[in-house]
């Protein structure tokens, strides 16, 4: 049986600016199963980033339940959410959020430092992950000197080093040319196969949807399922 790893039930999110309240997510419900890749596409401003941040515990919904790998995010305080992000659910922001003046190694080590992992285990895990994402020959380079595709792989390595059950990627190919975009898409397929990770990616790049098991569309904050699970 397919195991539900991400469950959203009747999620609402509004933002208020200059006294005007706008509903960004309207009654969104979805599931993602263990080891599947879900693609969510939709036009700019449709609420994709907001949806991912809610699953990552970076934003709280106004209403509704978010349950990820057994954690009900409404029940976690800020410390609990920080632990959740560092152990269960990794979020890769659209701009990668890598630190340019640190090395590839130092960037990928950060989540393990936060988790209090001992130095020997840290080195072993970081080197394994850098080998996996194809950055073994760039270990001690400053990230600021890398290409966009390499920076994206640093961000994926940093997200993967804690072996999360859920990986969220916001427009992972937005700033990449097509050959680098394919490499990133293939890396997600490998991660799913090798680690059984549930991957949710949001994109407005229709080409990336060829790589997903199931796709959904988000239009004006309303989510629609447009293909059935392959599982």
Ligand X SMILES: Nc1ncnc2c1ncn2[C@@H]1O[C@H](COP(=O)(O)OP(=O)(O)O)[C@@H](O)[C@H]1O
Q: Which residues make up the interface to ligand X (CB under 6 A)?
A: 15, 17, 24, 42, 44-50
* DSSP at 136: G
Residue 52 or 135 with smaller CB distance to ligand X: 52
Residue 9 or 26 with smaller CB distance to ligand X: 26
Residue 111 CA to residue 107 CA, distance in Å, equals 9
Of 49-57, 70-78, 102-110, 141-149: span binding Mg ion (CB under 5 A)? 49-57
Residue 42 or 157 with smaller CB distance to Mg ion: 42
Contacting Mg ion (CB under 5 A), which of 46, 49, 152, 165? 49
Q: Which does 165 bind (CB under 5 to 8 A by kind): ligand X, Mg ion, none?
A: none
Contact at 8 Å (CB) between 87 and 164? yes
Residue 163 CA to residue 160 CA, distance in Å, equals 5
- What's the gap between Cα 38 and its chain centre? 11
Q: How many CB atoms lie within 10 A of CB 114?
A: 14
Nearest to residue 162, comparing CAs of 119, 96, 109? 109
Q: What's the CA angle centered on 91, arms 227 and 167, to 5 degrees?
A: 50
Establish if 50 lies at the interface with Mg ion (CB under 5 A): no
Residue 54 or 108 with smaller CB distance to Mg ion: 54
Q: Which does 21 bind (CB under 5 to 8 A by kind): ligand X, Mg ion, none?
A: none
- Restricting to residues 162-191, name those near Mg ion by CB under 5 A: none
């Amino acid at each position: 049986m397919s195991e539900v790893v991400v469950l959203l039930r009747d999620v609402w999110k509004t933002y208020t600016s200059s006294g005007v309240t706008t509903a960004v997510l309207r009654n969104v419900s979805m599931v993602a199963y263990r080891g599947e890749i879900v693609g969510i596409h939709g036009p700019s401003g449709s609420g994709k980033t907001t949806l991912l941040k809610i699953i990552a515990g970076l934003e709280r919904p106004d209403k509704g339940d978010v349950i990820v790998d057994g954690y009900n995010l409404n029940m976690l305080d800020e410390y609990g959410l920080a632990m959740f992000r560092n152990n269960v659910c990794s979020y890769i922001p659209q701009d990668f959020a890598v630190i340019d003046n640190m090395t590839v190694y130092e960037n990928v080590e950060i989540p393990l430092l936060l988790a209090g992992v001992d130095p020997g285990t840290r080195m072993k895990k970081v080197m394994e992950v850098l080998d996996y994402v194809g950055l073994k020959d760039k270990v001690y380079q400053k990230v600021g000197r890398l290409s966009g595709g390499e920076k994206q792989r640093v961000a994926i390595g940093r997200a993967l080093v804690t072996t999360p059950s859920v990986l969220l990627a916001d427009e992972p190919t937005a700033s990449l040319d097509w050959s680098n975009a394919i490499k990133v898409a293939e890396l997600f397929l490998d991660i799913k196969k090798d680690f059984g990770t549930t991957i949710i990616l949001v994109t407005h790049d229709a080409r990336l949807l060829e790589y997903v098991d199931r796709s959904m569309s988000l239009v004006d904050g309303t989510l629609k399922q447009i293909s059935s699970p392959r599982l």
